[in-house]
Structure 1
Amino acid sequence: MSFLELAKDRYSMRKFSDKPVEQDKLDLILEAGRIAPTAHNNQPQRILVLNTPAEMELLAKCCPFRFHQTLALVVCYEKEVSWKRKDYDNADSGEVDMGIVGTHMILQASELGIGSTWVMQFDPQAVRREFHIPEALVPMAILMMGYPNEEAKPSRLHNDRFELSKTVFYHTFQG
């Protein structure tokens, strides 16, 4: 399958089966996150793996969404490690880096037949409290994962995309 086919086929899954994700597949997903490029190669990503029923119950205290997932990856970055744009506005690359890391992991999961949903709607302080995440780490996203339930399907909006002309523009030299 080509990359564009993989990217087009992947969708936010909201119905997972009971089948747990095998350790060897989890290892590949985590490896995809490990090799993701980060600003200045600082590698600030810190991924919390949750894959037990007890951990899913704790996660429910932090996040309003439950899709019967068997695996959740809490994607965090370490504030003191992420690169900062110091010469200009001190922007922190941690959020962008975690977007790249998370994308690598969900696409690797998809290639393995494992569905995922990227969740940003969660209480970061509850995540810190329930999972003892130190203040130095910033929880950015929760990637809920698992094998598809037989009823799983993309949302009706999955294939709705703007034309490139609406999202891309070119600089025109005015010299």
Structure 2
Amino acid sequence: MDFEKLIAERYSVRKFENKHPEQKVVDKILSAGHLSPTGCNFQPQRILVLNTDDSIEKLKECTKCHFDAPCAMLVCYNKNESWTRPYDGALSAPVDAAIVATHMMLAAYNEGVGSCWVMHFDPSKMRAAFNIPENIVPEVLLVMGYPRKDSSPAELHSASRPMSETVFYDSF
């Protein structure tokens, strides 16, 4: 699909068919995350694929924003493997995880799989439910699956501020 068309059409899906994405489609989505750029190519991302009925039931205990999706991918990062900016100690890993999640979200849409970016989850419940080690930080949850026919963009989907409010040249 044409990239401009893809980013214009993609929206947060909150209604899913009760059908798991095929493994070859899941693999393509994961490959997009694997190919994503990361700070100094440290690749701190760790992705937990949740695609069994049992894991989805556990997920529902961690977030109310699961939207009954048949599949989810929890994008985490290893805080011990992040590039660190020397001036202020900022980790690149949270940004790296966001880049990975974005690539996966767009790849999913390109394969006909809808997704919704979820930050509303309880990290401590996620840790307990899925045995996440202390050095692994859950950052972004992508719930995904095939959109139901009655799925449509949320009302605010196309509401964007004018670029003049968000883009500046040479100085603020």
| Matched AA of 1:23 | Q
Q: Deviations over 1:36-58 (max 9, x none)?
A: 00000000000000001111110
Which residue of 2 is the match for residue 99 of structure 1?
A: 98
Matched residue, 2:20: 20
Q: Following the alignment from structure 1 to structure 2, what is the Cα–Cα distance between the partners of residues 136 and 143?
A: 21
CA distance in 1, matches of 2:35, 2:66: 29
2:84 match: 84
Length, aligned pairs only: 171
SS in 2 for 1:84: coil
TM-score, structure 2 normalization: 0.97
CA shift, 1:112, in A, is 0.4
Residue aligned with 1:13, SS: coil
DSSP 3-state at the match of 2:46: strand
Q: TM-score, normalised by structure 1?
A: 0.95
Residue in 1 aligned with 2:135?
136
Instruction: State the AA in 1 paired with 2:131.
Output: H
Aligned pairs for 1:12-161 (under 5 A) are 12-86=12-86, 88-161=87-160
Give distance in 2, aligned partners of 1:70 and 1:60.
11
Question: Deviation at 1:68?
Answer: 1.6
| Structure 1 stretches of at least 4 aligned residues deviating more than 3 Å after TM superposition | none
1:168 maps to 167
Extract unaligned runs of 5+ from structure 1: none
In structure 1, C-alpha distance between the alignment counterparts of 2:94 and 2:66, rounded to whole Å: 24
**Deviation string, structure 1 residues 136-170 (Cα, Å, up to 9, x no partner):** 10000110000001110000111111221111011
CA distance in 2, matches of 1:18, 1:126: 25
Q: What is the aligned-residue identity percentage?
A: 49
Determine helix, strand or coil for the equivalent of 2:161: coil
| Structure of higher CA gyration radius | 1
Partners of 1:37 and 1:171 in 2: CA distance: 26
**Alpha-carbon separation, structure 2, partners of 1:75 and 1:167:** 27
SS at match of 1:122: coil
**Counterpart in the other structure of 1:3:** 3
SS class of match (1:46): strand
What value does the CA root-mean-square deviation take over the aligned residues?
0.9
